[in-house]
Amino acid sequence: MNFELTHIQQSTLDAFKGFVDRRVMPAAESIDEKAEFPRELFKEVSEMGFFGMRYPEEAGGSNMDVVSYSLAVMELARGSLSLAAACTMQSLMATYFLYRLGDDEVRSHFSAALKGEEVGGICMTEPNAGTDLFSLKSHAQVLDDGFVLSGQKTWVTSAPVAHFFTVLAKADKAEGISIFFVPTTLDGVNVGRSIEKLGVKGSVTSEVSFDNVRLPKNYLLGELGDGSKYLREVLAEIRIMTAALAVGVATAAFEDALQYAKEREQFGKPIGKFQAVKMNFAEMSVQLETARHYTLYAAAQSDAGSVEQKDAMIAKLYASECANSICDKASRVLASYGYAMEYPLQRYLRDARFTLIGGGTSEILKIGIGKELGL
Ligand SMILES: Cc1cc2nc3c(=O)[nH]c(=O)nc-3n(C[C@H](O)[C@H](O)[C@H](O)COP(=O)(O)OP(=O)(O)OC[C@H]3O[C@@H](n4cnc5c(N)ncnc54)[C@H](O)[C@@H]3O)c2cc1C
């Protein structure tokens, strides 16, 4: 890859690459098998400053650019998409609104989250409101001194281990969606059953219900009904981050297959010497390099303050589709060993499916890109 990196971007990449090779790669299989939140590695990632990369120094962060952040995400996802999914949730969606809109009390939880002392989650999806987020039914009754929150959420990443949630609900007296800070210790907050998943198993996910939860006034983040405006502020970055997750898992699959093609011999020579296998690698390489470059281009546009939603959607759509195609092709290279549970390729295949969903499904991104083209 010859995307021109600054000194800081290169040293960020090197630091995360070293960490992932040394600590994450050896643990990835066990994270998947146990299907438990990877607490120890999560703490180590926080010690590397990952959770604060995108926040200013005065807030406890390191004010890093989106390119550096994306490179770190790609590396974490190369090691374990489970770990990377849990860590990106903590570094972006679970903490952004606390930092951006919270008062001192709320921001104290933000600070604890940057240090990995508290875990956060975001509650948007409901049983009957997925892509159609604005049809959500969670409701906040407005009182003189605060709110009463009720509703049912699902697919909440990190919920079983969370200390707080950012919750999207509709309040009376406001048309749109409102955003609330909700500590999990409050009466009426119930974390339900964990959802068993095909992949990213170590990024634990649960249903959550809010049963008449009393919230003080300062737990409303921003203005009543302005939630979608705040969500839009961070949407492009969420999509670039998801693209980076996809590039990371695709890189792992590609590298494993390449190694295998050089070592596995059939008909007296390494299988990589056969033209059909070479062509498979050429296609994978084109996909991987293009996805990586477009993701970093979108990240650089974001750093320049000129990212368009279309760039972020293209990056996410292309990278996630490529990741799934690369995992499929890599699996063919390993043939029966790509089908064996003792080889990591089956994990990459299962994990990569997640990148087709988080940050908007491919169908929704195509519709969004079409709209941006004026259609
Ligand atoms: C591992 C994982 C972790 C997650 N973590 C979180 C989390 O932390 N917090 C959270 O709130 N949510 C989370 N989600 C939920 C995720 O955001 C939703 O799954 C996503 O928004 C899609 O919603 P849905 O699954 O209900 O699909 P649906 O919206 O029901 O869509 C089903 C299908 O219909 C298509 N479709 C829908 N509408 C249209 C349309 N208008 N035009 C064309 N096609 C359409 C979709 O593309 C899709 O193919 C997570 C999901 C997963 C898998």
d(CA 73, CA 54) in angstroms, rounded, equals 12
Residue where a domain stops, chosen among 200, 227, 254: 227
Q: Which long-range contacts (CB under 8 A, 24 or more apart) does 185-194 make?
A: 186/213, 186/214, 186/215, 187/213, 187/214, 188/149, 188/212, 188/213, 188/214, 189/165, 189/213, 191/156, 191/159, 191/160, 191/162, 194/160
Tokens of 167: 């919750």
Ligand 1 center to 126 CA (angstroms): 10
Confirm whether 75 is domain-assigned.
Answer: yes
| Residue 2 maps to a domain | no
The binding-site residues of ligand 1, defined as CB within 6 angstroms of any ligand atom, are 121-125, 130-131, 155-157, 197, 200, 205, 354, 357-358, 361, 363-364, 367
Residue whose CA is closest, atom 13 of ligand 1? 155
Closest approach atom of ligand 1 to CA 131: 29
Dmax (CA) for the chain in angstroms is: 80
Average pLDDT over residues 296-305: 96
What is the per-residue pLDDT across 337-363, written as a single tens digit (0 to 9) for each? 999 999 999 999 999 999 999 999 999
Q: Which domain holds residue 173?
A: 120-227
Residue at 43 is within a domain: yes
Boundary of a domain, candidates 93, 114, 135: 114
Q: How many domains does the chain have?
A: 3
Distance CA 140, CA 169 (A): 6
Whose Cα sits closest to atom 30 in ligand 1?
A: 130
Q: Is residue 211 part of a domain?
A: yes
Residue type, 128: N
Specify the CATH number for the domain of residue 321: 1.20.140.10
Q: Are 146 and 222 in the same domain?
A: yes
Task: Calculate the CA dihedral of residues 342, 41, 87, 65 and round it to 10 degrees.
Answer: -110
Residue 163 above 70 pLDDT? yes
| 189-194 and 205-216 beta bridge pairing | antiparallel
Closest protein CA for atom 14 of ligand 1:
155
Using the 3D structure, point to which of 161, 192, 227 is the last residue of a domain.
227
Q: Assess if residue 1 is contained within a domain.
A: no
Q: Are residues 232 and 366 in the same domain?
A: yes
Minimum-distance ligand 1 atom for the alpha carbon of 200 = 1
Q: Is residue 336 located within the same domain as residue 354?
A: yes
Q: What was the pLDDT predicted at 269?
A: 98
Residue 276 lies in a domain: yes
Q: Answer yes or no: do 173 and 215 share one domain.
A: yes
- Asked if pLDDT for residue 80 goes beyond 90, the answer is yes
Using pLDDT thresholds of 50, 70 and 90, give the confidence band for residue 4: confident
What are 261-284's pLDDT values in tens digits? 999 999 999 999 999 999 999 999
Q: Which residues pair with 142 in a beta bridge?
A: 147
Verify that 265 and 356 share a domain, yes or no.
yes
Q: How far is the CA of 291 from the centre of ligand 1 (A)?
A: 22
Residues 88 and 207 in one domain: no
- Give the distance from CA 106 to its chain's centroid: 23
CATH of the domain at 59: 1.10.540.10
Which of 82, 122, 155 to probe ligand 1 with, by most ligand atoms within 8 A of CB?
155
Report whether pLDDT(3) > 80.
no
Tokens of 208: 């959550």
CA of residue 107 relative to chain centroid, distance: 22
User: For residue 2, what pLDDT is reported?
Assistant: 55
Are 233 and 363 in the same domain? yes
Q: Which residues make Cβ contacts (< 8 Å) with residue 252, sequence separation at least 6?
A: 77, 78, 79, 344, 348
Contact 162, 119 (CB under 8 A): yes
Given the structure tokens 């550096």, which residue do they identify? 68
Residues 80 and 11 in one domain: yes
Residues 232 and 362 in one domain: yes
Distance 262 CA to ligand 1 centre (A): 39
Convert the pLDDT of each residue in 101-138 to its tens digit.
999 999 999 999 999 999 999 999 999 999 999 999 99
